[in-house]
Structure 1
Amino acid sequence: MSEWIEKVKDRAKKQKKTIVLPESEDPRVIEAAKKALAAGIANIVILGDSDKVDVPGATVINPRHSDKHEAYAQKFAKLRARKGVTIVQARENMNDATYFGMMMVKMGDADGLVSGACHSTANTLRPALQILKTAPDAKLVSAFFVVCSPKHEYGDKGTLIFADSGLNIDPTAEELVEIAASTAKTWRGFMEDEPRIGMMSFTTMGSAKGAVPDKMQEATRLANKRYPELELDGDLQVDAALVPEVATIKAPHSHVAGKVNIMIFPDLACGNISYKLVQRFGDAEAYGPLLQGIAKPVNDLSRGCSPDDVVGVIAITCVQAQMMDAAMARAESEA
């Protein structure tokens, strides 16, 4: 395990949160729940049949038989009334573990939710947006992976963030700016280092023409104008972003090249392919897709995840909940 994820687990233990796992049918999730409880990382709620789920220390809830089922259905019907959702439909939705879990988070009965081991990102994101909605300061929901490489010379002791690697298929230059800003905020919450953002391409500083470099150059221009406090530059190739010796050749005037710790990719194909290659060929840990821009902590999982990956995402979700609590407390004290 990387030093970074161990620090996240330690942070999670200091202020334990309650995390909902709606995929009781997946043995990896059950094993992860046992590990998270044994390590004292979180309080765990598993949604499923208590006769089939054997996880000592976890709270097991069958959504269909829960005493909260009707109250959640009534609340969901109100939330979705403008979309024509009836109470009958809402009750049916509450039979679904993911929808029920999201309502637990909405109503304050849990602090966060982790899903996606055996469901698509859409199955997690759709109820999250319907029930929890976007955060007040968010212009866009996006997804990222924390990649922890054994090559400590890259990023922050081997830790980098890849975004968007799990959600937005072909973001515009404007959307890339918001993804970069959100990811910088995420980085500050998790890391001890300042964010240094590379707008990635197959080119460096306009070394070739094309739609991708044009988009990344425009995103860089907009980001530097809108968020001048960010250390951000582009377009950059991977070697120019990460390797100081290459950066001095390809981007000698860049203040970011050679020391990037956040990679913003031009599209989902680049981001998703890149993280999987680094994970598999580079023997790296990859946690995600983690979601940013939702009002409460909800995180997705890769369907190829291991139980240890799930434990890591549970810990990350706990820390996100801690950070949201701290931000809310600051806002209330300043009001």
Structure 2
Amino acid sequence: MRLPEKILQKAKDASVRIVLPEGEDIRIIEAANLVVKENLAEIILLGNKKKILEVASQKNLTLTNLEIIDPNSVRSVQNYANLLISRKTKGTLSMEKATKQARQPLVFANCMVANGDADGCVAGATTSTAEIMRHAIRIVGQHPSCPVISSFFLMLFDSSSLGINYPVLFADCGLVIDPDSEELAAIAASAADNAELLLNARPVVAMLSFSTLGSARHPMVKKVREAKKLLAEERPNLKVHGEIQFDAAIHEEIFCIKGGKKQDYAKPNVFIFPNLDSGNIAYKLAERTAGAIAIGPILQGINKPINDLSRGCTAQDIVQNIVITACQTRNLFKKDI
């Protein structure tokens, strides 16, 4: 299933530079080649140039119109070493150690983004999520308007699917294990911003629970209810359903049966799960039983786009992640809906 044309066009219009630190991996090379051919973004591959070209040639790929940088042989590594020293909050970091760190491709890539030499970074094909997050927070930094760094999946459903037959966002399905009410509200606010950016539509948020509009009492329900209240106070113009069960969220008739008013209903395009258990299970169920395409996890709450890949990703998965990263550079932290 191909990304919606509007999202592809947004990436093209953004005309950004995306750095890929795992440049010697064949999947990264194949994805970079596809992105450049379709003019979706400018690509910078990090790694040993000779090795990258050798790997590409084994797949009969000719790499043109992209940049290859070896962190071990460029002068800018000294500037990035100084950047790392300035980011050090505890203890001291010698120039020697900072230079050694800056030559690591993932660190170098984050420094490029932090320094404005690249607009975004996509990594994770051979690197753990923990490593991606650690360097992103340390070097690029958490955005001051976001109290929690979280993630979302862009979910693409077949147009004939029952219930949902349009692109939506699921959050958080990959990062925050058990958010409290404030964190849940922040996750929803960030996801709503990304929905408006990517879907070119007014965001409508469903704060999911096993309760609908007070049908059950439990601390887990209370958390979702409080999160919805906080979100409504922060974003009074944002349409939010909650707390609400999934069936009531996607079907107007069930919404009304369970206590909602017909005039209050709008189809959600952002689904916020109460914890990582439910979110992770939900997106995988949608993938494996409804044939949905799940693109992500896409990170939100970082100063500039740094995004993660599954280590089992395909070249096409990487292309899709690069496209979303390119779109995020345009207007990630808009305050008002």
After TM superposition, the score normalised by the length of structure 2 is 0.89
Per-residue Cα deviation, 1:17-47 (whole angstroms, up to 9, x for no partner): 1100111243222211111111111111111
Q: How far did 1:127 drift?
A: 0.9
What residue is the counterpart of 2:70 in the other structure? 62
The Cα shift of 1:207 comes to 2.6
Q: Distance in 1 between matches of 2:200 and 2:296?
A: 20
The aligned residue for residue 316 of structure 2 is 308
* Residues 24-103 of structure 1 aligned to structure 2 (within 5 Å): 24-54=23-53, 55-80=63-88, 82-103=90-111
**Partner deviation per Cα, 1:89-136 (whole Å, 9 max, x = no partner):** 212211221110001111111111011122222211111111111224
Residues 221 and 14 of structure 1: is their aligned pair in 2 closer, same or farther, counting only changes over 3 Å? Answer: closer
Taking only the aligned residue pairs, the percentage that are identical comes to: 38
Secondary structure of the structure 2 residue equivalent to 1:35: helix
State the AA in 1 paired with 2:327: V
Mapping of residues 223-242 of structure 1, within 5 Å: 223-242=231-250
Secondary structure at the residue paired with 1:72? Answer: helix
How far 1:82 moved relative to its partner?
4.0
Q: Which of the residues 175, 187, 210 maps onto 2:183? A: 175
Q: Which residue of 2 aligns with 1:269?
A: 277
Whether contact under 8 Å (1:45, 1:58) holds in the other structure is yes
Does structure 2 retain, via aligned residues, the 8 Å contact 1:112–1:296? yes
Q: Call closer, same or farther: CA 1:118–1:84 in 2, change over 3 Å.
A: same
Residues paired across the two proteins, number: 325
> 1: distance between equivalents of 2:183 and 2:99?
36
- The Cα of 1:57 is off from its aligned counterpart by 2.8
Q: What displacement does 1:68 show?
A: 1.2
Q: Which has the larger displacement, 220-229 or 12-21?
A: 220-229
Bigger drift between 155-164 and 195-204 goes to: 155-164
Unaligned runs of 5+ in 1: 328-335
For residues 161 and 202 of structure 2, the distance between their equivalents in structure 1, rounded to whole angstroms, comes to: 16
Offset at residue 257 of structure 1 (A): 5.2
CA distance in structure 1 between the aligned counterparts of 2:14 and 2:232, rounded to whole angstroms: 37
Instruction: Please list every run of 5 or more consecutive structure 2 residues that lacks an aligned counterpart in the other structure.
Output: 54-62
Any residues of structure 2 matched to 1:133-172 within 5 Å, and which?
A: 133-151=141-159, 158-172=166-180
- Report Cα offsets for 1:62-85 as digits up to 9, x if no partner: 212222112211221122154433
Q: Confirm whether residue 10 of structure 1 aligns to residue 9 of structure 2.
A: yes
Alignment match, 1:330:
none
Q: Give the corresponding residue for 1:322.
A: 330
Query: Structure 2 CA distance, aligned partners of 1:66 and 1:155?
Result: 53
My pick for the range that moved more, 218-227 or 121-130, is 218-227
Shift of 1:203: 2.3
Q: What secondary structure is seen at the aligned counterpart in 2 of 1:150? A: coil
Alpha-carbon displacement from aligned partner over 1:159-209 (angstroms, at most 9, x marks no partner) = 111111121111001111111111112222222221111111122223333
Output the amino acid matched with 1:301. Answer: L
Q: What corresponds to 1:278 in structure 2?
A: 286
Q: Please name the residue that 2:299 is paired with.
A: 291
Are the structure 2 counterparts of residues 96 and 191 from structure 1 closer, same or farther at C-alpha, using a change threshold of 3 Å?
same
Q: Give the aligned partner of residue 192 of structure 1.
A: 200
Partners of 2:163 and 2:251 within 8 A in 1? no
Q: How far apart, CA to CA, are the structure 2 residues paired with 1:301 and 1:155?
A: 28
Matched, 1:215 2:223: yes
Task: Please tell me the residue identity of whatever aligns with 1:247.
Answer: F
- Once superposed, what is the RMSD of the aligned Cα atoms? 2.2
